[in-house]
Amino acid sequence: MKGILKLISIFGGGVLWHILATRVINDSALLVSPLVVIDKGYEMLFVTADLYPHIYASSSIFFLGIILATLVGVPLGFLMALSPVVRDCLNPWMTALYSTPRIAFAPVLLLWFGIDLATKVAIVFLGCVFPILINSFYGMRVVSREFVEVGRSFRLSRSRLFLKILLPASVPFILSGLRLAVGRGLTGVAIAEWFGATEGLGYMIFFAGQTLNIPVLFVGVAVFALLGILGFQVLKMIEEFASPWRKELEVK
Amino acid sequence: MAGPVLELRNLTKEIPTGSQEPFVIFKNISLGVKEGEFVSIVGPSGCGKTTLLRVINGLLPTSSGQIFIDGKEQTGADNELVMGFVFQGASLLPWRTSLKNVLLGLEGRKNPGEAEEIARFYLNLVGLSGFENHYPHQLSGGMQQRVNLARALVIDPRILLMDEPFAALDAQTRTFMQLELLRIWSQTKKTVIFITHMISEAILLSDRVIVFSHRPGRIRSEFAVPLARPRNIDIKSDHRFLELENVVWKQIEEEVKASREGSPI
């Protein structure tokens, strides 16, 4: 039933889009039918095959950025949660950086690293690291006092308390941080490739926009959307594997 | 038998308030518990009985006084596991199955094979064989507390501390669990300190019932329960049971009144 509703919703949206493009706006310089987009996508995938380098370029930036952000954000979040000293030192920086628009950093990163992979990865990293860090921090901070007391009443050593109680209890929080990071990371990819790139989905969209190539522009947007969905699905699989107990606790 | 398993000497717990007078939770508690004895502590709400149990277990520091187990003073510094703690509720780790929850206290202390064998034995003892691989959310409240009990028993503690373990259960399940605890206790012969609000629960289970005063908690009185074991549900209509329940209730009522000083409950 849920699957059918989803299909109807997607199909209905496509039909509306098609009517809007062909009957209401009727100007292929502004909007094209989804059928044209699919056609163009098919062509770029299977005929000319010029979509792959863009996808490859964008996903390398994306994965490098988000993996780096996880490697930095999770341990730093844990450290902040467990050590009041680290917390007090980092808190003002984190608050300031979190609320600063990342796009403001782009020119200076460009200046430092040039039109290079490093700049783009850094922009994605900046987008991803804060939600991951903040969620890891809260995850470990809000571990129920009762669970910690259970660990202490069983005289678990500090390392065991961390590994057996604190870490598993914060896994769901880390994963929801990652979920936020997927969205912000993809935004980061688009921003990074707008600024200085010769390939990638962001560049492709930007270039298509400049040259009024609407079908290619929409293919780019659609691929971004699909990458986002893919990221969510992967996280969902990780979640089901890492915390199967969590599913049952969700509000139905 | 030699000395008591557990001995408390002038145990006091205060919380500094910043101003001149600290907030005294309980004061000068001295108590000895013999090997295999089942002792319940009842008292008005907020009398510090749960805090006492936490202090005994080392979850909270004492303000003054000493705790001895088998004559050895407990400083909270060593990692020796001599006490099992049964929590009020919601304390099972939701990411672990029943079996894994029960194994918690054995990890790193026994080899995995032996640990699992012991854990299965205790799960069976509390009536949960067949539920080893269930997660806490798949179990009823009563079953969760069975796991909680098995988790505390599995380490073969010298003393079992139970903090209102049945408080969150509905009345029927609660009565059933009381009888189950009688059965399990008769098979393990553990020394138990049991905290409860419910006087009939205390009498049904215990060899000795201790009545706490209102805060700051002190031992107001204690009663040996004059009822033979093994006990069953019928004992609740025994006149000695009812008389004792009545006496204890009167004392608690007085304590509640004294603490409220005329204001309604």
| Structure ipTM | 0.88
Going by the DSSP 8-state scheme, the letter that residue B74 receives in this structure is: P
| Whole-number pLDDT of residue A12 | 95
Nearest CB partner across the interface for B87, out of A146, A156, A165: A146
Residue A178: which of A57, A92, A62, A55 has the closest Cα? A62
Structural contact between residues B124 and B88, judged by C-beta atoms closer than 8 angstroms: no
pLDDT at residue A182 in the model: 94
Residue type, B221: S
Distance from CA of A237 to the nearest CA of B (A): 16
Asked if residue A219 lies in contact with residue A41, where contact means CB atoms within 8 angstroms, the answer is yes
Residues of B at the A interface, defined by Cβ within 8 angstroms? 57-59, 79-81, 83, 85, 87, 90-91, 93-95, 104-105, 107-108, 135-138, 155
- The whole-chain average pLDDT of chain A stands at 89
Q: Kindly report the number of other CB atoms within 10 A of residue B239's CB atom.
A: 7
Q: What is the pLDDT of residues B188-228, one digit of tens each?
A: 999 999 999 999 999 999 999 999 998 889 999 999 999 99
Closest by CA position to B158, among listed B86, B81, B210: B81
A245–B83: do the CB atoms touch at under 8 Å? no
CA–CA dist A180, A227 (Å, integer):
14
- The pLDDT tens digits for B18-57 are 877 889 999 999 999 999 999 999 998 888 999 999 999 9
Does the pLDDT of residue A186 top 80, yes or no? yes
Between vectors from CA A176 to CA A171 and to CA A182, what angle results, nearest 5°? 125
C-alpha distances in Å from residue B169, one per residue of A245, B139, B245: 22, 13, 21
How many other CB atoms are found less than 10 A from the CB of residue A148? 16
Q: How far is B207 from chain A (nearest CA, A)?
A: 25
CA distance A147 to chain B (A): 6
- CA pair distance A188, A127, nearest whole angstrom: 6
Partner-chain contact A154 B93, CB within 8 Å: no
The number of C-alpha atoms within 13 Å of B2 and in the hemisphere containing its C-beta is 6
Q: Which amino acid appears at position B80 of this protein?
A: E
Cis peptide before A101 (omega within 30 of 0): no
**Distance, CA of A242 to CA of A238 (rounded, Å):** 6
Angle at B114 between CA B110 and CA B118, to 5 degrees: 100
pLDDT tens for each residue of B50-61: 999 999 999 999
Q: Taking all residues of chain B, what is their mean pLDDT, rounded to a whole number? A: 92
Q: Kindly identify which residue of chain A lies nearest to residue B93, measuring between CA atoms.
A: A147
- pLDDT digits 0-9 by tens, A119-152: 899 999 998 999 999 999 999 988 878 899 999 9
- Predicted confidence at residue B22, as pLDDT, reads 87
Cβ contacts below 8 Å, chain A against chain B, sum to: 56
Taking residues B102-116, report their average pLDDT.
94
Q: Is residue A252 scored above 50 in pLDDT?
A: no
Provide mean pLDDT across the span A63-71.
96
Reference B200, options B176, B235, B168; nearest CA is B235
Kindly state the helix (H) or strand (E) to which residue B34 belongs, with its residue range: none
C-alpha A207/C-alpha A193 separation (Å) is 10
pTM of the model: 0.82
A26: pLDDT strictly greater than 90: no
- Which carries the bigger pLDDT value, residue B83 or residue A104? B83
Q: Which of A144, A154, A162, A163 to mutate to test the interface with B (most CBs of B within 10 A)?
A: A154
Structural contact between residues A68 and A125, judged by C-beta atoms closer than 8 angstroms: yes
3-state secondary structure of B42: strand
Say how many CA atoms lie within 13 Å of B72 toward its Cβ: 9
The pairing of beta strand B6-15 with beta strand B191-195? unpaired
CA within 13 Å, CB half, A100: 13
Residue A179 has pLDDT above 70, yes or no: yes
Residue B7, H or E segment: strand B6-15
Question: What's the start-to-end Cα distance of chain B, in Å?
Answer: 45
Where does residue A229 rank: exposed (0-12), middle (13-18), buried (19+ CB within 10 A)?
exposed
- The CA-atom distances, in angstroms, between B23 and each of B12, B14, B49 are 11, 5, 15
CB spacing of A245 vs B135 below 8 angstroms: yes
How do B208-212 and B38-42 pair as beta strands?
parallel
Using an 8 Å CB-CB cutoff, list chain B residues near A160: 107-108
pLDDT, tens digit (0-9, with 9 covering 90-100), for A199-238: 999 999 999 999 989 999 999 999 999 999 999 999 988 8
Owner of token pair 């783009």? A120
d(Cα B195, Cα B53) in Å, to the nearest integer? 8
Cβ contact (<8 Å) for B91 and A147?
Answer: yes
